[in-house]
Amino acid sequence: MNIPRYWVRAKGQVPTGFGKVYDLVAWGWSSEGRDGAERKAQERLAAFAQRVQQGLDLPRGYAYGDRPLREEILREIQGSDGEIAALVTRNSYGSMVLNTAHTLFADVDLPAASSGPSFLGRLFGKSEPSPEEAALARLREGLQRASGGSFRIYRTAAGFRVLATDRAYDPRSAETQALMTSIGSDPSFMHLCRIQESFRARLTPKPWRCGQRLPPGRHPREAPDEQADFSDWLTSYDQACQSMATCRFVEAVGPGWVGEEIQPILDLHDAATRASAALPLA
């Protein structure tokens, strides 16, 4: 999984031929140590400075997509082979996220709501399935065509979540990408899975869905006052999450097999998301 543990920021100023000075910031990352992250930060800062001096624009967002997400690692789960099977991280807006090396998760958003029943449905007085029922039926059919695998479907605030339970998947493989495409996964989500070489599933509510503001600052919060402000926010956020669930289990598709390596991840996911609780989804 491409989820670095160490992040270092480099800053610099670059004069241009037009009498202006650009303030540049570059982040470097490493899984081995801060020294490696600092070297990468300086290398990226030098590359950005060269582009500015050549009169070239910096890529939007300094080339989002050319780097992994900058997230705090909260917990590490090892597989039976000693390799990292999953990491729990905190994303930019404060939610906890489960990142898995080979356990497939895929979110599928519901389509935009239509204005009402179709003309033929009104004409003949036939009741049509709701958008949610229709989307669930399509999702179920798509998974049933997926080589007879075992899956669990969950309802989320925006749609559905799929968890493959019977075997491992490679987030970069053509097979995985084809499966996720066939069930309607978001292309941006699929792209992120490839970049991070892992699958992602949000474990805790989005702050604005449980009446909370966004967290102050971004990881890593190095100044003491930044960390203190974040700690206050986290206490409030954790309390607000107690009355919400992130997803709700709907049904199993396929034979229902659960792999030995996947069971601990399934248990962690269902407990953290409160998938069995009758709570509002956030």
Domain boundaries, the chain: 6-62, 72-273
Nearest partner of 149 among 253, 248, 230, judged by Cα = 253
Neighbour count for residue 94 (Cβ, 10 Å): 20
Taking only Cα atoms into account, the Rg of the chain, rounded to an integer number of angstroms, comes to: 22
Q: How far apart are CA 79 and CA 64, in angstroms?
A: 31
Residue 261 per-residue DSSP state: T
Strand-pairing partners, residue 8, are 28
Single-letter amino acid code for the residue at 214 = L
Three-state DSSP at 272 gives: helix
Sheet (strand 96-100) strand order = 72-78, 84-90, 96-100, 199-202
Q: pLDDT tens-digit profile of 231-281?
A: 999 999 999 999 999 999 999 999 999 999 999 999 999 999 999 999 999
pLDDT of residue 20: 81
Counting residues of the chain whose pLDDT is more than 90, the rounded percentage is: 68
Q: How far apart are CA 172 and CA 161, in angstroms?
A: 19
Residues in contact with 189: Cβ distance below 8 Å, sequence separation at least 6, in sequence order: 106, 107, 180, 200
Three-state DSSP at 125 gives: coil
Q: How far apart are CA 177 and CA 152, in angstroms?
A: 18
What number of residues does the chain have?
282
The answer to pTM > 0.75 is yes
Q: pLDDT tens-digit profile of 148-157?
A: 899 999 999 9
pLDDT of residue 251: 96
